[in-house]
Amino acid sequence: MPLYDHIAVSVANPLTQVTKQATKTSPGTVFSLFVTNANATIRYFQWHNLIAVPAAAAVPVESYPIPGGAANTPGSLLLDITHYTDGGAKFTTGIAWGISTTFGTFTDSATAADHIVVVRYV
């Protein structure tokens, strides 16, 4: 049985679409992520160990490609227990993320309306 079946996991799913968010402003653990991309161009989901949204050119701790898609058939990325295992991904400062147009640094030029993000964390 997964570890997070025994704890109260929070869900962050911004009702207004954004390209960056400080999900938790204190140390925490991420258990899963689901993100979509309705833009035809690849985007990159980035985790940042921060208490605030990532600034331009911030270097992520992890960066994952989100395949391109379209409004009716968006590309998607799912990171769950098969990726993070039972212990989740630990963030010692805070849990922040951004959707970038570049892999290695945060470039905030993605269109917010193209993405939906759901994060499960404690």
The whole-angstrom separation of Cα 103 and Cα 43 is 8
Q: Does the pLDDT of residue 2 top 90, yes or no?
A: no
Average pLDDT over the chain reads: 92
What is residue 6's predicted lDDT score, i.e. its pLDDT?
55
- What's the domain range around 113? 3-27+34-78+88-121
**pLDDT tier, 9 (very low <50, low <70, confident <90, very high otherwise):** confident
Number of domains in the chain: 1
User: pTM for the full model?
Assistant: 0.91
Is 52 among the domain residues?
yes
Does 51 reside within a domain? Answer: yes
